[in-house]
Amino acid sequence: MAQVKVLEKVLDANDKIAADNRRLFRERGIVAVNLMSGPGAGKTSLLERVLPRLAARAPVAVIEGDIATTADAERIAAVGVPVVQINTDKLGGACHLEALAIQTALADLPVQGLRWLFVENVGNLVCPAEFDLGETLRVGVLSVAEGEDKPIKYPLLFRQIHLLLLNKVDLLPHLRLDLDRLLENVRRVNAELPVVRCSAATGEGLDEFVAWLERHAEA
């Protein structure tokens, strides 16, 4: 019982800070995109491809969340985009980002005039979906190598997101995957969820992803 109370308090505090973040994003016209997936689905690879295209038209920044290492922030810095790395091992090793970490990281980013803020959450198909960061859009990434059953086994993330990127489609000829069953499982959890089939390796589907982002940013 006591444990439940503690968790409620944590979520309460998180939601208040998330509301502050959301207000700041609205006031400044920032579109904040929370990118969530299991480890290795291709979040950073997709960002490496998509960020230069968005940055050519409007200022972009990234917050990278990982338990440890600055590897992903270094990859983002290499494409010339301002980035802050959050390592949650210094915050108790959390498997997700919380709103306070976003608020703190914003102090180290060029928020003035910023249009796009991408938050790459810690690689985890469960916990990130439980914490509101104040983001504008939630995008999930599932790679085709993860199997047909992930949407029904880990439904929360698939319920919360506004778009699903089905990544690594270049690998389909090499996999034993029933794509129709995977898509049916997505629909069982979230009937309306748009799905973009893409590959960070070949660039397939990324025009569609960028177009979706720009449409939703206008809205």
Binding site for Mg ion (CB under 5 A): 43-44, 72
Least distance to Mg ion, CB of residue 181, Å: 27
Do residues 143 and 42 lie in contact, with contact meaning Cβ atoms separated by under 8 Å? yes
Q: Radius of gyration over alpha carbons of the chain, in Å?
A: 17
Q: Which of 38, 65, 73, 67 is nearest to 167 (CA)?
A: 38
Taking residue 144's Cβ as centre, other Cβ atoms within 10 Å add up to 21
What gap in Å lies between CA 207 and CA 213, rounded to an integer?
10
| 43 scored as a contact of ligand GTP (CB under 6 A) | yes
Among 96, 138, 150, 168, which residue sits at the site for ligand GTP (rule: CB under 6 A)? Answer: 168
- Which partner, ligand GTP, Mg ion, none, binds residue 199 by CB below 5 to 8 Å per kind? ligand GTP
- Which residue lies nearer to ligand GTP by CB, 123 or 151? 123
The 80-119 site mask, x for binding ligand GTP (CB under 6 A), equals ----------------------------------------
What gap in Å lies between CA 182 and CA 16, rounded to an integer?
36
- Which residue lies nearer to ligand GTP by CB, 17 or 186? 186
Question: Running DSSP on this structure, what letter comes out for residue 68?
Answer: S
Residues that bind ligand GTP (CB under 6 A): 37, 39-45, 72, 123, 167-168, 170-171, 199-201
